[in-house]
Chain A
Amino acid sequence: MSSTGTGPYDAIVVGGGHNGLVNAAYLAKAGLRTLVLEQRHLVGGAAITEEVVPGFSFTTFSYALSLLRPEIIHELDLVRHGFLPLMMPSSFHPTGDGDYLLLGDDHGQNIQEIRRHSRHDADAYDRYHHDLDLVCQAIQPLFDNAPPDVFGKDPEDQADVKWLLDHLGSVDRKVMHDVVRLLTGSASDWIEDYFEHPAVQGFHASSSIIGSKVGPMSPGSALVLLFHKMGEHDGHLGSWAFHKGGNGGFTQVLARAAEAYGAEIRLGARVDTVLTRDGRTVGVALDDGTELRASVVVSALDPRRTFLDLLDPRELPSDLVDNVERMRFRGVSAKVNFALDGLPVFPALPGTVDHYGGFLNIGPTIEYVERAFDAAKYGWYSERPFIDAAIQSVVDPDMAPPGKHVMSCFVQYAPYQLRESDWESERERFGDKAQAVLESHFPGFGELVLHREVVTPVDIERTTGLTEGNIFAGEFLAPQMYFFRPSPGWSQYRTPVDGYYQCGSGTHPGGCVIGSPGKLASQRILRDLRGS
């Protein structure tokens, strides 16, 4: 594609998070002279790795490659730039009574491990995952394509709607019912349909609350569970990986790929305003007053910032403004990251390391997690929080000095808005709560702690710009998904301002380190340019 204007840039991407980088790489690959503007001193947004203590690499915010779409790896030739996912073949779930559930790569052993706790649940395990696989298979085309504009009237929109209806019409009726149950119901209803044992239930419920102000008993939590199952690594649905060097290692790979295609990345460049003239974008203004011209501007920021900060809301349709103001961004997630002097000891598994090869899930039962959620409803953090932890240095020894370790703990619930206090006052007390939970499962944990970093939702917002620290740039609620994400009529990466696009996690399909919003937005932009 040839350049579209006379200035030095055809396209400016605002925000160097992973979706901004993916978008820029695709645009540059297509021949657009592309500039990425990142306010911080490093790219990555919420996917960064920082050496908080010398020798210890912390994944400050996001900590795993959960849902990255495989085609992005290939289309952007990421392996050549150092893409290296380290698969995490195990999941470790202490059951709260000193026992544990440890699942791994060997299917037969997993069945026996489930059976150790419940004979009934042994065969349910296979059915559960197969039923979920069928649902994922059915909705995967929706996930990997821009949503149709069901409100659009032109032939292209109507063809898209027909495609959607034809696809849904081809889905088996049980699978379709499961789709609806997952999109609308609670994780506990879905899970209890298969499993009877509280620990087996608890294990499967852990992905239903990530980043969301729901408990596993809340309607809507099954949607969060399903979203996390859409991930696919090395052909296994729902499997997760660490990137070598943490998620910051991954965004550095993306930056190298984007630059190899010719994109330019400017750090320390905070965009103040998107410039418009006669309903078209003409570029951006930085907070130091610099103006940069381009006929395409893409916001990788969340919908609040994309529409209400970078633009003047008076230029926008009022229903869009209303909807973006109404959109839910209630951050409830915190990170507590540790530098450790050695590996924690789980008393029932002394002297082994295999249970630390993947995620460590501290949320023994559905009831435990639901009780952790209770406090959040009333503006307070959990007394005994849910923790999704990973000791990344076990899989990637380069992340800590020999013999030492880094442990990433994703902790819920930590509501952005505290009632009658604030996060500066509560930060360390909250860290203590998380550490006390770890201490109860891993006696002696506290003695291993060399350094502790508590990252609250307020910190997430302040550093990354994510509104209210919501890690998905807009909660995973049914009215905020698919052709409603971020707003009805504006789900196809365009905005009411010609030439101004959105590519962040606030667009379809949504958050997690997934890359699809960045990719799908680039397709929209390139098609519009070809048509113009």
Chain B
Amino acid sequence: MIRTTPFHARLSALNTQGLYTHWQGHLSALRYSHAPKHEYFAVRNGVGVFDTSPLFKYRIQGPDAERFLAGVLARDIRTCRPGQAHYTLWCDERGFVMEDGVVLRHSATEFLLTAARPTLGWFADLVGRLQVEIEDVSDGYGILAVQGPRSRATLAALMPEADALGYFDHAPAKIGSAPVTLSRTGYTGDLGFEVTVEAEHALEILDAVLDAGRDHGIRPFGEEALMMLRIEAGLPLIDVEWHNSRLAFTDHDRVTPKELGMGWMLRGVRDGDRAFVGRDAIRRELVDQTSRWTSVGIVVDWADWDQLHRAAGLLPEKSERPLGYESVLHDRPTTAGGSQVGYVTSFFYSPVLQRHVGLARVRPEHAAPGSEVHLEIALNHTNTTVLARTAKLPLFNPARKTSRS
């Protein structure tokens, strides 16, 4: 049986399309209106809400909770103070990424981890003699992402905490009489918040948020708009940008944190003494510089794209719908004997950047921003290559994302 989220009763009434996908066994709207671009622009320009409740949620608590997480997660949880949140990864013992998630630290001894895939068994196996309890509380909470430049004004009308909350901070708050956790987190690369609420209060806080956002043009947005937003934001997605290393068949399908573009998470790993799963392999990779790939953005040369299409008798296509498959990057055009130097995992036409852009992995020697690569595309059923250049991630990074006010 397909499940529904705590917000479903209200959000489904706002969905004029009846288009859903299945996200970890839950109905998840692809879009709410005929035009996912409406929803995309609401987030880049006003405010949108996204139901992110299907994420798995684990409460991890006990006197050894910090010690436990410090030994499991690649990013040092000891640097996360109560009231802060960490985006983090966990790896297998070979230093390959399994999954990612966000940890909210509530106190010295209590954490809440959200994850895209179930992970209780793996975590529980690693507890050993530590005094820590891990509880799957996934069904007990709804999470409402409220994202966009007007998200702060919308939420501040309900909770004064929204006004002062720093990037990746969180705070307990109340919407009406319903207790919530308000965090300055999200998956859009814009100013944004997430509201975690007990399932029984989900509808009342959703109503309050929609009401507070009405004068700001608030709209629910679906997965199609989310994909556009997260690619611009340079945020990788499991089973698109990488696969859980424990479920992959070959090392080609595995990436290390550094290869995934998360080298910044590994502060202290090279020289520190924190033991965690995969540490030795990751340390060797850092010391010996053996990373096979560098994650980069790519930006297609617009003139080459237009010229190739027009010469082929086609209108230059500019689709905001991400490609559903990977594409290959070469060092030179294939007609000039190019050989592969990378691959593109996500690709679409960004309305904000007015360019075809993508998330890609290239050999480290091709990673310097502005390096020329040649992207394989099919025109009139024939493969050819179009010029592109590597770019720093995130591709779109407005100051408001992290600014205080």
Which residues on A are within 8 Å of B, measured CB to CB? 70-71, 73-74, 79, 83-87, 89-90, 104-106, 109, 133, 137, 140, 234-237, 244, 353-354, 357, 393-398, 402-403
Contact = CB atoms under 8 A, between A and B. Distances in A.
A83 B354 contact: yes
B318 A235 contact: yes
Contact of B352 (A84, A394, A397): A84
A71 B301 CA distance: 11
A104 B318 contact: no
Contacts of B366: none
Nearest to B302: A74
B41 interface: yes
Of B215, B306, B355, most buried by chain A (CB within 10 Å of CB) is B215
- The 8 tightest CB contacts between A and B, nearest first, are A235-B318, A403-B215, A89-B35, A402-B215, A104-B34, A105-B35, A106-B34, A234-B318
B386 to A, nearest CB: 14
Contacts of B303: 71, 74
A85 B351 contact: yes
Interface in B14-69: 16-17, 33-38, 41, 45-46
B316 A235 contact: yes
A87 B34 contact: no
A87 B37 contact: yes
Contact of B353 (A79, A398, A403): A79
25 contacts: A71-B302, A79-B352, A84-B45, A84-B352, A87-B41, A87-B351, A89-B35, A89-B37, A106-B17, A109-B34, A137-B313, A140-B310, A234-B354, A235-B316, A235-B317, A235-B319, A244-B45, A354-B35, A357-B38, A395-B41, A396-B45, A397-B45, A397-B46, A398-B45, A403-B215
A397 B34 contact: no
Contact of A106 (B35, B317, B353): B35
B361 interface: no
B315 interface: yes
Contacts of A73: 354
B187 interface: no
A234 B46 contact: no
Contacts of B352: 79, 84
Interface residues of B, number: 34
B232 to A, nearest CB: 12
B320 interface: yes
Interface hub of B36, B38, B316 (most chain A Cβ within 10 A): B38
A247 B353 CA distance: 18
Interface string B208-239: 00000011110000000000000000000000
A105 B34 contact: yes
Contacts of B150: 397
A234 B320 CA distance: 8
Nearest to A108: B34
B35 A104 contact: yes
Contacts of B355: 79
B34 A234 contact: no
Contacts of B353: 79
A235 B302 CA distance: 12
Contacts of A137: 313, 315
Interface in B289-340: 302-303, 306, 310, 313, 315-320
A83 B354 CA distance: 9
A109 B320 CA distance: 19
B90 interface: no
Contacts of B354: 70, 73-74, 79, 83, 85, 234
A394 B354 CA distance: 22
A354 B16 contact: yes
Nearest to A352: B16
Contacts of A104: 33-35
Contacts of B41: 86-87, 395
B141 interface: no
A90 B16 CA distance: 15
A236 B351 CA distance: 12
Interface in B343-369: 349, 351-355
B156 to A, nearest CB: 12
Most interface-central of A357, A395, A397 (chain B CB within 10 A): A397
A215 to B, nearest CB: 31
Among B16, B153, B315, B349: residue with most chain A CB under 10 A: B315
Nearest to A110: B34
A402 B47 CA distance: 12
Nearest to A113: B34
Contacts of B349: 234-235
Given A395-B41, A402-B215, A234 B35 contact: no
Contacts of A234: 318, 320, 349, 351, 354
A73 B353 CA distance: 10
B216 A402 contact: yes
Contacts of B315: 133, 137, 235, 237
A105 B37 contact: yes
A401 to B, nearest CB: 8
Interface in B98-137: none
Contacts of A395: 41, 45
A83 B214 CA distance: 27
A71 B303 CA distance: 8
